[in-house]
Amino acid sequence: MKIDVCYTPELIHQFDVSDKCVVIIDILRATSCMVAGLGSGVKSVTPVATVEECEALGKEGYVMAGERGGEKLPQFQIGNSPFDYMLPELKGKAIAATTTNGTRAIELSKEAPDVIIGAFLNLSATVKYLLTQERDILLFCAGWKGKYNLEDSLFAGAICDGVKKQATFESDAVTSAFYLYESMQTDLHYYISRSNHANRLSKFGIMKDIDYCSKTDEFDIVPRLIDGKLVV
């Protein structure tokens, strides 16, 4: 099994996803939200690219979730915080979500035969899943507006560390992610909270989100994209 890393959606054209298991990574905050919600009893999360698509699903009874510029849209029921996704009243509910980076990366992976959702919150479950499936792996970092970011790359490195005995590192992108994680793993929260994303969104008072998204193994689940919906 081979493993590679795509650091931003702007680079995805360099990869052939048609035979891969693609792991979508958006630690702050989309994939952390999806894991937290689905791990807390949400029935499904349907990722969509636009606000209009989300509103159309809202009319069908979906809970509308997401953000633009990091802030909840006024017409949506919830924003892009893992605490929103874990609200008890959302148990059993279907969510439609649109976010700046995370749902875009999912949209760009649609041709892949297996798309799964990774976050520190389900790190060990993701590693376990990858070691029991047979496809080559692409770790797809959602980044920020097409740019590289630290927290997604760090998580990609954590996965590389977890699968290193069974997977062949395909490129320097993998080796870089691996050594990044090796050098920062002792204090993930410290490094994530100093990331550009954390600084940019700190004005919205999301430090509690950053603290939560830095936790590991809160959930033993792996969300998978099946017929356009993320389910456990």
Least distance to ligand L3UKIRZJ, CB of residue 83, Å: 13
Q: Which is nearer to ligand L3UKIRZJ, 34 or 167 (CB)?
A: 34
Q: Which is nearer to ligand L3UKIRZJ, 23 or 167 (CB)?
A: 23
Least distance to ligand L3UKIRZJ, CB of residue 79, Å: 8
- Sites for ligand L3UKIRZJ among residues 168-207 (CB under 6 A): 197, 200-201
Mark residues 110-149: x for contact with ligand L3UKIRZJ by CB under 6 A, - for none: --------------------------------x-x-----
For residue 116, give Cα distances in angstroms to 47, 52, 110, 188.
12, 25, 11, 22
Please state, in angstroms and rounded to a whole number, the distance separating the CA atoms of residues 117 and 148: 19
Q: Which is nearer to ligand L3UKIRZJ, 20 or 29 (CB)?
A: 29
Least distance to ligand L3UKIRZJ, CB of residue 143, Å: 8
Asked whether 123 and 35 are in contact (CB, 8 A), the reply is: no
Asked whether 158 and 174 are in contact (CB, 8 A), the reply is: no
Least distance to ligand L3UKIRZJ, CB of residue 78, Å: 12
Mark residues 67-106: x for contact with ligand L3UKIRZJ by CB under 6 A, - for none: x-xx---------x------------------xxxx----
Which amino acid is located at 151 in the chain?
E
- Give the tokens for residue 56: 């159309």
Least distance to ligand L3UKIRZJ, CB of residue 175, Å: 25
CB-count exposure of residue 122 (10 Å: 0-12, 13-18, 19+): buried
- Sites for ligand L3UKIRZJ among residues 11-40 (CB under 6 A): 26, 28-30
CB-count exposure of residue 169 (10 Å: 0-12, 13-18, 19+): middle
Please state, in angstroms and rounded to a whole number, the distance separating the CA atoms of residues 133 and 139: 15
Least distance to ligand L3UKIRZJ, CB of residue 19, Å: 26
- Give the tokens for residue 45: 């999360």
For residue 31, give Cα distances in angstroms to 2, 77, 142, 179.
23, 18, 9, 23
Q: Supply the Cα-derived Rg of the chain in whole angstroms.
A: 16
Least distance to ligand L3UKIRZJ, CB of residue 30, Å: 4
Binding-site ranges for ligand L3UKIRZJ (CB under 6 A): 26, 28-30, 67, 69-70, 80, 99-102, 142, 144, 197, 200-201
